Amino acid sequence: MSVTCSICGTAASSRLVTVRSGKQLTLWHCTPCDFDFFAHDPTGGLAANKLDETRLKAAGLDIPTVERDFANGIAQSRPDVEEYIDAGDRGARVLEVGCSVGYFLKLVRDAGALPHGVEVNGQRADYVNSQLGIPCDNSLEACEARGLKFRKIFLFYVLEYIPNPVAYLQRLVDMLEEGGSLIVVTPNLSDAIKDIWGNEAFRRFFYDEHAVNYMSQTAVERAVAKLRKRDASVVTRQGYSFVNHASWFLTNAPRTTGVVGGDNFVRNMLETLAAGKTALGAQLAEQIREFDTRYRRTLEAARFGNQVRVVVRK
């Protein structure tokens, strides 16, 4: 079987990998793009609500209830709303693709914008429509058929599930207003736990059968370069703390604080030390904060932040 890279068209090499659920799948790699990918389409499994079974349950993590998922999502989304939604978005249409149960969209509405969702998982799309009263389509095609233009479009941890990501991103750029922005966050193929710490348990945890794209900063830059756009920025950001990496080193297993692509371990430690109201606790808190900040910035400077963040302007 011959497979070519969907970014550059180069013939890809292959190897067998064991994914998080225990299945063995053929993983393809494009060396010029630094891009790992699977050749299958995961849409059917995503629509059938199978993602949490392979992503969480197979890794020994609990599948959260809708209520807990929504509460965690609200907490996680607040910094993104503060960073990407501003006064100029009041009354403007904002689209989130892969909106899950709509926590980000609710905050967008609270900020005065007009939210719209796309969610292939029918149960979650129904929740957004019926419980939040926010319009949500089951496919990008259905949203495109509306003929709407958006001031901003967001994909938080969605690009990894999309076959042929360049073509998909171009469709989204075409749905923007002139001067609008596409904001994307996706996991980084260049991950410090896997590639720097060399943690074998994490390597077995890293690939999931529903996530078909694993893009380094280089891969994302090469994909974005093919888009018809005004300009773009691509950076990495380290969402996970040093404590998360130390936990993998010590236990060879995942732990979560309910944050996708990050954790609250350091924040919880600092809050505990502050509650003691001691001078030594304050001193230790400052040292922990400073080290964690330096650790994250070092990874980001080396293009090893676990998130690749993209802003494309039309």
User: Which tens digit of pLDDT belongs to each residue from 263-284?
Assistant: 999 999 999 999 999 999 999 9
Q: How confident is the model at residue 50 (pLDDT cuts 50, 70, 90)?
A: confident
Q: How confident is the model at residue 58 (pLDDT cuts 50, 70, 90)?
A: low
Residue 265 in tokens: 């371990």
- Which of 50-54, 55-59, 308-312 has the least mean pLDDT? 55-59
Q: How confident is the model at residue 67 (pLDDT cuts 50, 70, 90)?
A: confident
Q: How confident is the model at residue 74 (pLDDT cuts 50, 70, 90)?
A: very high
Q: Which residues contact 45 (CB under 8 A, 6 or more apart)?
A: 51, 54, 209, 210
- Rounded Cα gap, residues 57 and 62, in angstroms: 6
- Which of 16-30, 40-54, 144-158, 226-240 has the least mean pLDDT? 40-54
Task: State the CATH class of domain 42-240+304-313.
Answer: alpha beta
Torsion, CA 100, CA 104, CA 106, CA 108, rounded to 10: -140
For the chain, give every residue range classified as CATH 3.40.50.150: 42-240+304-313
Long-range contacts from 115-120, C-beta under 8 angstroms, 24+ separation: 116/143, 116/148, 116/150, 118/142, 118/143, 120/43, 120/46, 120/47
- The per-residue pLDDT for 59 is 61
- The per-residue pLDDT for 68 is 87
Torsion, CA 128, CA 146, CA 210, CA 213, rounded to 10: -130
- Mean pLDDT confidence for 94-120: 97
- Rounded Cα gap, residues 265 and 253, in angstroms: 15
- The per-residue pLDDT for 138 is 96
Is residue 23 helix, strand or coil?
coil
CA torsion sign for 63, 68, 69, 75 is negative
- Mean pLDDT confidence for 116-139: 96
Average pLDDT of the chain is 95
How do strand 114-118 and strand 93-97 relate by DSSP bridges?
Answer: parallel
- The per-residue pLDDT for 62 is 72
Examine the pLDDT at 61 and tell me if it is beyond 80: no
- Mean pLDDT confidence for 228-238: 97
Q: How confident is the model at residue 54 (pLDDT cuts 50, 70, 90)?
A: confident
Examine the pLDDT at 57 and tell me if it is beyond 70: no
H/E stretch holding 36 reads: strand 35-37
H/E stretch holding 301 reads: helix 279-301
Q: What is the DSSP letter of 57?
A: G
Residue 14 in tokens: 């292959």
- The per-residue pLDDT for 238 is 98
pTM above 0.85, yes or no: yes
- Rounded Cα gap, residues 74 and 241, in angstroms: 20
CA torsion sign for 127, 129, 135, 137 is positive
Contact 245, 31 (CB under 8 A): no
Q: How confident is the model at residue 64 (pLDDT cuts 50, 70, 90)?
A: confident
